[in-house]
A and B are shown apart, each in its own frame.
Chain A
Amino acid sequence: MESRSSSERRLRAFLGGLLLACALPLASGCVTVRPEDKEFLAEPAMTFGSGGDARAQEEHVLSNREGSFGAGSASGGGCGCN
């Protein structure tokens, strides 16, 4: 019985986490940075994936020397400068 309640707790925690993971991005809609306030967000230093080819070559070199892979960066900075 104890192991069953432990599994149920884990399942509830997992479902709770999943709900939070889905809700958080939607809640981000409440956050508003107005276009006129995006001067600094448009800086290359604030833009993910701005390293371009140099960053890609570095990730290629490092991933060949490590056992891990992925989750490096995606394009986009949310800066509204496109």
Chain B
Amino acid sequence: MQLKPLSAFLLALAAPMVAQAQVSVATTNTVYRESGGGLETTSVTPSLRIKGVIQDRVTLRAGWEADVVSGASVAVVDAPGGDVDAITSATEWSDFRNTATAGFGIKSEFATLEGSYTYGTESDYRSHSFSLTASAELFERNTTFSLSYGRGFDSVCNLSQPRAQEAVDRQRLPGSEGCFEDDADDREELDLALHTFQGGWTQAWAPVFVTQLVLTAQVLNGYQGNPYRAVWLGRTAAQENHPENRTRYAAGLGMRFWVSPLAGAFQVFGRLYRDTWDVKSITAEAAWEQRLLEGFTMRARVRYYNQTGAAFYSDDYVRFPRGQYFTGDRELSPMSSWLVGGHVAYDVPPGEDGGVGPFAGFVILAKFDWVKYDFRDFRYGTRSVPNDRAMVATLGMEASF
């Protein structure tokens, strides 16, 4: 009962602040479709985000995102020369992932502190993740430094089998039935801990030139394989076996140059990556973003990616084993990709009353990318990867009040 006056006082205090809040609602929806030769993956990712900025100092946000994924994939990755046509025996699957996020931001004149929590759930996976980011603007706001730390607590469903058992005797998980249910004796939960550190340095060098350097390190400890996938080892197929520890390092450098006569920006980005599984990669991207009519922009880009395979990757573990670990993950094989695409965005100019219809502002974005993969050392039996083309389409809208 004594809480009532306190609640009323807090409400009275907060009401004017909330009344002054600038609220925005955004929805972004992405479709990814990868197809070719009987293997395919389709994922639909809708999201909704609500953000409120109170007195230009405090930001509160909440969001939801889902992944509706379906496709046909090869459960037992065979060696070259195998008799079984792995692709025609591909199995169909689907999954539904939901994530909910809540976050805050506090801004002073020259510094910002942001934090967030995300919970993710799907039939065979659970995750809790926290992140904290601090950034500061220095030297007349020409320099921005940011530091962030993220911590993830993930749980993966697997077939219950003794961990002391030899890896070559472990069976793959046949399906997600029974996962995370207390009475399912043949299922277990395996943990994965993630620590992500990131530092960023953004620098305005001239009125038309800005750069950004980003360094990322991530430490993973725990189960990192796909429990559904098995690898043919000669006499039998065993659930893929990845090392439990992985440390990943990446350095990215972006540059943007404004070309005044064309009213557009030339953008380049390069990234170097390596990890303790001996995957090394390079990413290069170039883009042109053009301002057209008032509020209307268009961007075109090309991206190239190339990586080496993991130290324990082999496309034939019978003839070329790689020690105690084995994988059927094509993303751990030597691969490259080309991406071309672009987007158009329209930030609707405000009318005479300073608004856009019922909104204070309205932005719409349509994006499309086409990707061609080259898995130069990965085979399903005797066949190369058939689903090596993909498209990514995004439609986003944001309204502010």
What is A's interface to B at a CB cutoff of 8 Å?
25, 28-29, 31-35, 37-41, 43-46, 48, 52-54, 57-58, 60-62, 64-80, 82
Q: Can you pick out 21 interface pairs between chain A and chain B where the beta carbons lie within 8 Å of each other?
A: A25-B145, A29-B139, A32-B142, A33-B204, A34-B140, A41-B208, A54-B365, A58-B392, A68-B248, A68-B271, A68-B273, A70-B250, A71-B250, A72-B214, A72-B252, A74-B135, A74-B212, A75-B135, A76-B146, A80-B204, A82-B137
Docked Cα-Cα span, A43 to B133, in Å, equals 24
**Which B residues lie within 8 Å of A78 (CB)?**
137, 141-144, 202-204, 210
Interface contact A45-B137, CB-CB below 8 Å: no
Shortest Cβ distance from A63 into B: residue? B331
- For B273, give its contact among A31, A33, A60, A69 (CB under 8 Å): A69
Look across to chain A and name the residue whose beta carbon is closest to the beta carbon of B212: A48
CB-nearest residue of chain A to B48: A53
Chain A min CB distance to B250 (Å): 4
Determine the residue in chain A with the shortest Cβ distance to B336.
A66
Complex CA distance for A69 and B272, rounded to whole angstroms: 10
Nearest CB in chain B to that of A30: its residue: B139
A48 touches B204 (CB 8 A): no
Q: Which B residues lie at the A interface, using CB under 8 A?
A: 26, 28, 30, 32, 34, 43, 45, 47, 49, 107, 133, 135, 137-146, 148, 196, 198, 200-208, 210, 212, 214-218, 248-252, 254, 256, 258, 260, 264-265, 267, 271, 273, 275, 279, 281, 283, 289, 291, 297, 299, 305, 307, 310, 331-332, 335, 337, 339, 343, 345, 347, 365, 367, 369, 371, 373, 390, 392, 394, 396, 398
In Å, the complex CA distance between A29 and B137 comes to: 11
B146 to chain A: which residues have CB within 8 Å? 74-76
| A52-B26, A61-B392 known, 17 other contacts, Cβ within 8 Å | A25-B143, A32-B140, A32-B142, A33-B142, A37-B207, A38-B207, A41-B208, A43-B265, A44-B297, A45-B297, A54-B394, A68-B248, A73-B214, A74-B148, A75-B146, A78-B141, A78-B142
Q: Are A46 and B210 closer than 8 Å at their CB atoms? A: yes
By the criterion CB–CB under 8 Å, are A70 and B273 in contact? yes
The interface residues of chain B lying within 8 Å CB-to-CB of A31 are: 139, 142, 203-206
Nearest CB in chain A to that of B27: its residue: A53
Contact present for A54 and B30 (CB under 8 Å): yes
Cα-based distance from A72 to B264 in the complex (angstroms): 22
The complex places the Cα of A31 from the Cα of B96 at a distance, in Å, of: 50
B307 contacts A52, C-beta separation under 8 Å: no
Q: Is the interface of A mostly helix, strand, loop or mixed?
A: loop
Contact assessment for B369 and A58 in the assembled complex, using a CB-CB cutoff below 8 Å: yes
Contact among B34, B252, B307 with A73 in the assembled complex (CB-CB below 8 Å): B252
Cα-based distance from A40 to B258 in the complex (angstroms): 7
B208 cross-chain contacts in A, Cβ below 8 A: 40-41
CB distance from A48 to the nearest CB of B (A): 5
**Least distance between A54 CB and chain B CB atoms (Å):** 5
| Residues in chain A near residue B281, CB distance under 8 A | 66-68
Contact indicator B331/A25 (Cβ below 8 Å): no
How far, in Å, is B213 (CB) from chain A's closest CB? 9
Decide if B310 touches A46 in the complex (CB within 8 Å).
Answer: no
Q: Report the nearest B residue to A65, measured CB to CB.
A: B331
CB-CB under 8 A for A28 and B203, given A45-B267, A57-B30: yes
Q: Which residue of A lies closest to B290 (CB)?
A: A45
Q: Once the chains are docked, how many angstroms separate the CA of A53 from the CA of B49?
A: 9
Q: Give Cα A44 to B297, complex, Å.
A: 9
Assess whether B204 is in contact with A69, with CB atoms less than 8 Å apart: no
Name which residue of chain B comes closest to A76, CB basis.
B144
